[in-house]
């Protein structure tokens, strides 16, 4: 395969709807935002060309963040989710040998979310769900919903019956949170830092409120090498073990046990490290340490019983199609079998794909 030694399935790869294109103007991509909107809109031309050139044989697409999660009106949020899912299914049908998709949902109401999830999976043929962290439910952004309370059990029950994974993806904080926590430091609001804070909080909320215990077959995906959770694994359980009363998690499971079932994506952030490595040797040395810490943490967790799976991702078009595969192919710290599982085997099995890799 051109430009690559191992075929790859990439699963954190974004698109946008034509009517949402202007919403992405404030985001930046690898070229400082140049062509980002056009790359989000394009599915069948430049994206396919870059996939072929970079050795990405299959891509799982999802509506770019924040999607319906930033729509405070429940009817409009549902309409957006249905529109996105219908549009995505239509694009996949144009090239099913190269694309699959994750459904967008309005998360205002658990029953409504469950109904659209079933339609997207059973009627449209999408292979999983992606929700962008919390749901905004008030126009001023001060009221938000997480999915870890008992009323959401009807949704999680439906997801486990559908037997599909849910990707909990980051989104920007609300203006209210930004004003209170990030005044004077707006650059921390997005992917540099607060994306990981939001998703980590959400996943830990699912854990301490017993969602993983009530639904042991629930399949959750967390991106960017676990959004800091993997590195904090020991400390989280250690500190929770001291908690009593209302502070004690509502579950008999340790967080480490839960993380054995959580899938991670990686290499979108690590692709950035590789790009920076080419700038100067000093940067290269410090970032290489960061990469090795992540790999060591993952491998040590595997040795101590971590059974979760890691899956290749790029985060296109917020990262370049070229750098992620290039960096991955040059890794020497994993066996060929491990690299093949990360590159395509784990994703193919989890999403029950019929692609040719």
User: Hey, is 263 helix, strand or coil?
Assistant: strand
pLDDT of residue 150 exceeding 60: yes
Residue 55 Ramachandran class (φ > 0 left, ψ -120 to 50 alpha, else beta): left
Integer CA distances (angstroms), 226 to 1, 93, 100, 282, in order? 29, 31, 23, 27
Q: Residue 158 is encoded by which pair of tokens? A: 């439906």
- Res. 35 pLDDT band, cuts 50 70 90: confident
Lowest average pLDDT, out of 23-37, 144-158, 164-178, 306-320, goes to: 23-37
Rounded to 5°, the CA angle 43-46-50 comes to 110
Q: What is the pLDDT of residues 249-297, one digit of tens each?
A: 999 998 888 888 888 776 444 433 333 333 334 334 444 444 455 555 5
Among residues of the chain, what percentage have pLDDT more than 70?
Answer: 83
User: Hey, is 147 helix, strand or coil?
Assistant: coil
Q: Are strands 99-103 and 263-266 parallel, antiparallel or unpaired?
A: unpaired
Q: How confident is the model at residue 155, as a pLDDT?
A: 99
- Could you give the CA distance from residue 319 to residue 296 in angstroms, rounded to a whole number? 24
pLDDT of residue 21 exceeding 90: no
- Could you give the CA distance from residue 176 to residue 173 in angstroms, rounded to a whole number? 8
- For 8-350, CATH gives 3.20.20.140
Tell me the average pLDDT across 327-333: 82
How much is the CA Rg of the chain, to the nearest whole Å? 19
pTM of the predicted model as reported, rounded to 2 decimal places? 0.86
Cis peptide upstream of residue 5 (ω within 30 degrees of 0): no
26 or 98, greater pLDDT: 98
Closest CA to 308 of 347, 261, 252: 261
User: Hey, is 229 helix, strand or coil?
Assistant: coil
Contact 286, 241 (CB under 8 A): no
353 or 310, greater pLDDT: 353
Q: How confident is the model at residue 34, as a pLDDT?
A: 59
Q: How many CA atoms lie within 13 A of 143 on its CB side?
A: 7
Q: How confident is the model at residue 304, as a pLDDT?
A: 45
Q: How confident is the model at residue 284, as a pLDDT?
A: 41
Contact 154, 110 (CB under 8 A): yes
So which residues are the catalytic ones?
315
Q: Residue 111 is encoded by which pair of tokens? A: 């029953």
């Amino acid at each position: 395969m051109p430009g690559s030694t191992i075929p790859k399935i990439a699963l954190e790869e974004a698109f946008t709807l034509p009517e949402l294109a202007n919403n992405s103007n404030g985001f930046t991509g690898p070229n400082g935002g140049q062509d980002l909107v056009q790359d989000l809109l394009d599915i069948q031309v430049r994206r396919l060309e870059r996939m072929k050139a970079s050795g990405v044989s299959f891509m799982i697409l999802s509506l770019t963040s924040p999607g319906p999660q930033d729509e405070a009106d429940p009817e409009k949020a549902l309409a957006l989710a249905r529109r996105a899912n219908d549009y995505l299914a239509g694009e996949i049908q144009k090239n099913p040998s190269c694309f699959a998709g994750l459904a967008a949902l309005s998360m205002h109401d658990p029953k409504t979310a469950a109904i659209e999830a079933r339609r997207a999976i059973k009627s449209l043929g999408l292979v999983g769900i992606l929700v962008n962290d919390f749901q905004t439910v008030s126009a001023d952004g001060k009221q938000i919903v997480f999915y870890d309370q008992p009323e959401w059990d009807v949704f999680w029950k439906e997801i486990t019956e559908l037997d599909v994974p849910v990707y909990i993806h980051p989104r920007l904080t609300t203006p209210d949170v930004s004003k209170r926590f990030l005044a004077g430091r707006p650059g921390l609001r997005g992917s540099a830092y607060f994306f990981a804070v939001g998703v980590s909080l959400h996943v830990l909320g699912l854990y301490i409120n017993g969602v993983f215990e009530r639904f042991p077959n629930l399949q959750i995906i967390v991106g960017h090498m676990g959004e800091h959770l993997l590195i904090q694994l020991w400390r989280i359980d250690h500190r929770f073990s001291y908690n009593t009363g209302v502070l004690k998690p509502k579950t008999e499971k340790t967080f480490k046990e839960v993380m054995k079932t959580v899938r991670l994506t990686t290499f979108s952030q690590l692709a950035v490290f590789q790009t920076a490595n080419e700038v100067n040797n000093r940067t290269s040395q410090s970032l290489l340490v960061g990469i090795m810490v992540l790999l060591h943490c993952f491998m040590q967790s595997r040795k101590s019983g971590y059974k979760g799976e890691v899956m290749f991702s790029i985060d296109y078009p917020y990262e370049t199609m070229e750098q992620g595969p290039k960096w991955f192919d040059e890794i020497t710290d994993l066996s060929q079998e491990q690299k093949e599982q990360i590159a395509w085997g784990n994703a193919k099995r989890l999403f029950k794909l019929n692609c040719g890799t």
